[in-house]
A = this chain, B = another copy of it.
Amino acid sequence: MTARPNLESLRPFLAPQSFAIVGASTDATKVGARPVLLAKASGFKGKVYPINKGAEVVHGYPAYPSIKDVKEPIDTAFMAIPAPAVEAALLECAEAGVRAVVCVSAGMAEIGGEGIKRQSRMTAIARETGMRIVGPNCLGVFDVGHNFYATFAAGFLDPKFGFPALGSMSIVSQSGAFGMHAYTLCKFRGLSISSWLTTGNEADVEFGECLSYLADDPQTKVIVAYLEGARNKDSLVEGLEKARAACKPVIVIKVGRSEVGARAASSHTASLVGSDAAYDALFKQYGAFRARTITELVDVAVACNAGRYPTGPEFGTISISGGANVIMADAASEIGMDIPALPAAAQAKIAAVIPHAATRNPTDTTGGWSGQPDVFPRFMEVLADDGKLPSIIVFGSTMGTNVPFYTGVLDATQPIRDRHPDKLFIMSAVCSDEIRAMTEKRGMLVYEDADTAVRVLGALYGFTQAWKRDHAVPAIPKSTPRIPETAVSEVAAMAVLKKAGVPVVDHAVATSAAEAGKSAAKLKFPVVAKIVSADITHKTEIGGVQLGIATRKEAEKAYRTLTARAKKAAPKAKLDGVVIAKQVVGGVECILGAHNDPALGPVVMFGLGGIFVEVFKDVSFRIAPIDVAEAKAMIREVKGYALLAGARGHAPADVDATAKALSKLSLLAAANADRLESIDVNPFIALPKGKGAVAVDAVIVPRK
Contacts and interface: CB of A to CB of B under 8 A. Distances in A.
Given A106-B366, A639-B616, A329 B451 contact: no
Interface stretch (A141-149, A291-299, A514-522, A653-661): A291-299
Interface string A93-123: 0000000000000110011000000000000
Contacts of A332: 260
Contact of A430 (B188, B322, B326, B403): B188
A321 B181 contact: yes
Interface stretch (A265-273, A306-314, A456-464): A265-273
Interface in A380-409: 397-398, 401-403
A330 interface: yes
A426 interface: no
Given A155-B402, A294-B450, A330-B256, A226 B323 contact: yes
Interface stretch (A172-180, A213-221, A239-247, A622-630): A172-180
Interface in A235-278: 253, 255-265, 267-269
A556 interface: no
Residue of A184, A320, A618 ringed by the most chain B CB atoms within 10 A: A184
A327 interface: yes
Interface in A480-528: none
Contacts of A642: 615
Chain A: interface size category = 35 or more
B178 A324 contact: yes
Contact of A106 (B29, B339, B356, B362): B356
The 8 closest A-B pairs by CB, nearest first: A268-B322, A177-B321, A258-B333, A261-B330, A255-B326, A261-B329, A264-B329, A260-B333
A614 interface: yes
Contacts of A262: 326
B615 A448 contact: no
A322 B615 contact: no
Contacts of A339: 260
User: For A29, A184, A294, which residue has the most chain B Cβ atoms within 10 angstroms?
Assistant: A294
A643 interface: yes
Nearest to A368: B106
5 contacts: A177-B323, A181-B397, A256-B330, A294-B450, A611-B640
B178 A321 contact: yes
Contact of A295 (B181, B323, B366, B452): B452
Nearest to A455: B293
A264 B326 contact: yes
A228 to B, nearest CB: 7
A648 interface: yes
Interface in A637-667: 639-640, 642-643, 647-648
Contacts of A228: 323, 326
